[in-house]
Amino acid sequence: MIARISLSVCWIIALAGCSADQPTPPSTGGGNSANPDEPELPLTLAPVGIPVPPLDGGRFQTSLPDGWRLLPRRSEYLLGAYEDQPSGIPRILVHVSDSPLDDVVDDETGKVLYKALAAEIGELTFAYPPPKVIEIGSNFYVQYVRPAKFQGQTARQLVLETVRDGRRYKLELFVDKNDLAGKASAVYRLANDAKFGEQSAELPELKPEETPAEAPADGDKS
């Protein structure tokens, strides 16, 4: 199924001489910025799976992709989910923290969040594709990709961040480097179905699976 996703504004971070205060706008010339070693991410949604009970005091609710299951509740994340093995990847983690920024509801507010992210991450190398503001369903996010490692294998961390009602939500997909394009639709499903700041009706409690053995680590340069 093709997702109702539109790319709104794309800013490429220059890996050398990057300014956190002024994101670089996309080129309008005829040059090709694609990385021949890694494909573009297809803008599609995974089929919808089970609904997730309201989280973060009723301020966040979404659905898992079909075939995915909940990880046990842990203090380091708001929501965790996996597809194949609870101790492996692919997996999705959702984090939340307080934020002084305005809600990310359009291109301009997405740019403000991007500038905050650039200041936090500094000169840390990003993986392809470059950061961008993306609209998924009725929600706006800043999307970026970072290198990661999991049990010795080269992985990727696809991140979608937004701010709603003073809360900053970070949706992370951890996946094998070669599976990024094929699995991106899973985190897009969560992002598309996310509802923020709504006191939804309580849903039946979902039983998580066994505790994962290891959490992915980011920051690998592979």
Domain range for residue 83?
Answer: 5-13+42-199
CB atoms near residue 22 (< 10 Å):
10
Residue at 23 is within a domain: no
Total structural domains in the chain?
A: 1
User: How far is CA 148 from its chain centroid?
Assistant: 14
User: In this predicted structure, what is the pLDDT of residue 214?
Assistant: 52
Confidence category of residue 108, pLDDT binned at 50, 70, 90 = very high
DSSP character for 66?
A: T
Confidence category of residue 194, pLDDT binned at 50, 70, 90 = very high
Residue at 184 is within a domain: yes
Residue 133 CB partners (closer than 8 Å, separation 6+): 7, 8, 9, 10, 11, 107, 110, 111, 114, 140, 141, 142, 143
pLDDT higher than 70, residue 115? yes
Residue at 216 is within a domain: no
Confidence category of residue 219, pLDDT binned at 50, 70, 90 = low
Output the six-digit token pair for 113: 């969040």
Residue at 79 is within a domain: yes
User: In this predicted structure, what is the pLDDT of residue 150?
Assistant: 85
Q: What is the reported pTM?
A: 0.77
Residue 144: closest CA among 134, 152, 153, 135: 134
Torsion over CA: 196, 202, 204, 208 (sign): positive
**CATH number for 162:** 3.40.1000.10
Encode pLDDT of 87-104 as tens digits: 999 999 999 999 999 999
The residue among 205 and 18 whose pLDDT is bigger is 205
Place of tokens 């996946």: 175
CA 75-217-125 angle, to 5 degrees, is: 125
User: In this predicted structure, what is the pLDDT of residue 19?
Assistant: 33
Strands 217-218 and 48-51: unpaired
The residue among 121 and 56 whose pLDDT is bigger is 56
Say whether 196 sits in a helix, a strand or coil.
strand
pLDDT higher than 70, residue 152? yes
Residue at 217 is within a domain: no
Backbone angles phi, psi at 185, to 5 degrees: -60, -20
pLDDT cut 90: percent of the chain above it: 55
Residue at 135 is within a domain: yes
Residue at 105 is within a domain: yes
pLDDT higher than 70, residue 220? no
Residue at 37 is within a domain: no
**HSE-CB of 162 using CA atoms within 13 angstroms:** 26
